[in-house]
Amino acid sequence: MRSAQQILADSAVIAVVGASRDPHKAAHQIPAEMQQYGWRIIPVNPIVDELFGEKAYPSLADIPHPVDLVDVFRPAEDAVDVVRQAVAVGAPAVWLQLGIVSAEARRIAEEAGIDYVEDRCLIVDRAAAGLTRLG
């Protein structure tokens, strides 16, 4: 299994499940910051058409191209279903944001052989590793 920093270094396209249009929420601020550092952010939110200048999709299955990482901003009880969806679409890694922990989601990811991170923040790990995808 790859480290959190290695997952970020290897990822170019991040699907963000639970991305928020509210600029005061972490589910908006964190994906926006990752985008500023060069990652392509694909918002997954069934109630918006577009976020971060990208088309939003109602579910992971609706995204018409592969993603490198599924970042989850949903309550822990929803994480199990999100990880199942990530496995179904062939995502190589899932990341549950800070404060989100699920033993069942971890088990599903491990059984599917995909990388799994929980209770960590993308921007903290990005900054700690000094990572950027800018040219």
> CATH no. for residue 122?
3.40.50.720
- The answer to whether residue 59 sits within a structural domain is yes
pLDDT, mean of residues 5-24: 97
- The answer to whether residue 17 sits within a structural domain is yes
Instruction: Give the Cα separation of 17 and 20 in Å (integer).
Output: 9
Q: What is the pLDDT of residues 87-124, one digit of tens each?
A: 999 999 999 999 999 999 999 999 999 999 999 999 99
* pLDDT for residue 86 is more than 90: yes
- The answer to whether residue 134 sits within a structural domain is no
Listed residue (132, 126, 85, 103) closest to 3, CA to CA: 126
Q: Return contacts of 62-65, CB within 8 angstroms, 24+ apart.
A: 63/15, 63/89, 65/13
- The answer to whether residue 84 sits within a structural domain is yes
| Tally of structural domains, the chain | 1
Instruction: Give the Cα separation of 33 and 36 in Å (integer).
Output: 5
User: How far is the CA of 47 from the CAs of 21, 40, 44, 57, 59, in angstroms?
Assistant: 10, 20, 9, 9, 11
- The answer to whether residue 58 sits within a structural domain is yes
- The answer to whether residue 95 sits within a structural domain is yes
- The answer to whether residue 135 sits within a structural domain is no
134: confidence class by pLDDT, cuts 50, 70, 90: confident
- Give the model's pLDDT for residue 1: 85
Q: Is the entire prediction scored with pTM above 0.85?
A: yes
Q: Which domain holds residue 99?
A: 4-129
Q: What's the distance, CA 18 to chain centroid?
A: 9
Which helix (H) or strand (E) segment holds residue 31: the answer is helix 26-36
Q: What is the pLDDT of residues 35-82, one digit of tens each?
A: 999 999 999 999 999 999 999 999 999 999 999 999 999 999 999 999
